[in-house]
Amino acid sequence: MKVRKRRFKKQGEAQNFWPSFTDMISTIALILFFLMILAYVQNMVTGSNLKYAKQQIEDTEDYLQNALGQLKDTQQRLEESNEEISRAEKNLELLMDNLDKVSAEVERGEEALKLSEIQIEEQKQIIAESNQELGRLRGRLEGIALLRLDVLTKVKNSIEEELGKSRDSEKDLVSIADNGNIIIDEGLVFDLNSFTVKSEGKELLNELAIAFENVLDEDDVRANIDAISIQGHTDSLGSAEYNRDLSAKRAVEVVNYLLNTNEDLEDKYANYFVASAYSKFRPIDTNETKDGRAKNRRIEISIILKDSNIRNVIEEYLNESMDVFSE
């Protein structure tokens, strides 16, 4: 009985062994399958991570390269800034040097300005003195210029005192024109188209000769007179040649009559008288009317002053001025 039981147990044990081994193999296969799946997943995850990591590394390299480029640019700008600072420092040194020079120049300028102010005051004094000299010169030149008018005025007054007014009480026998010359109406001395002195004109010329002698007897007056010009003028009627001949003959006739009627005038002062003819070319009024032509037919007397006297006055003034500046 006991032996049978042992055999039964052994058979029962042999029957349960194979199912357990199969289960174990299945389990191992399942585990290997899961391990393979896990490895595959892990490889996929690892590959993705590696790709991401590689991209990150590339991005990091790009970033580092950009950062390095910016660093180089920054370093270059820094070097340029340092150079600018160096140049600015040099310029500042130059400016400081120039400032010192300018300050020195300003000081010298202030000193020069003070000297200039002193010189200006001296120049003002010289100018004031020069103005006084110019005033005196102007007075002397005006005196010479007025001498001509004064002589003619004396002659005119002398004639008027002796002969009085002409037939027309509103008209003078002689007048002084704007140019300072004495004007004698031709009709008082000559008939139309004639150069023969008529009786009424002789009386006028007699007094004119006496007046000129009296004026020329004055040493101061005579010293400044170069010539007394007797001028003949006509109207525009007739040719220029005819009028030139007529005006010349009338001027010469007046000079001859003045010197012939007063021998003292001829003996003492004949060298002062000159005759000139202007024909119709210096009218004082229109030739379109009868009255205008009558005014243009005239004898005109001009006093010509000596240029040398005027030059002497100016030279004397200049010499005196040079003496002032040399002092």
Mean pLDDT by 10 residues, the chain (327 residues): 49 54 80 84 77 80 82 84 86 84 84 84 76 67 65 71 53 77 88 92 91 89 88 94 96 96 94 95 94 93 77 58 51
pLDDT for res 167? 45
Fold of 146-314: 60s Ribosomal Protein L30; Chain: A; (3.30.1330)
pLDDT for res 323? 55
| Angstrom distance (rounded) from CA 324 to CA 9 | 170
pLDDT for res 229? 94
- Which one-letter DSSP state was computed for residue 169? T
| Angstrom distance (rounded) from CA 53 to CA 47 | 9
pTM to 2 decimal places: 0.52
| Angstrom distance (rounded) from CA 150 to CA 266 | 22
| Angstrom distance (rounded) from CA 223 to CA 226 | 8
pLDDT for res 288? 95
pLDDT for res 209? 93
CB of 301 within 8 A of CB of 182? yes
Residue labelled with tokens 């003078």: 172
| Angstrom distance (rounded) from CA 206 to CA 228 | 16
Residue 269, number of CB atoms within 10 A of its CB? 20
pLDDT for res 309? 56
User: Where are the domains positioned within the chain?
Assistant: 146-314
Radius of gyration for the alpha carbons in the chain, expressed in angstroms and rounded: 67
pLDDT for res 327? 53
Q: Provide the strand spans (E) within 63-211.
A: 174-176, 182-185
| Angstrom distance (rounded) from CA 90 to CA 157 | 91
pLDDT for res 230? 95
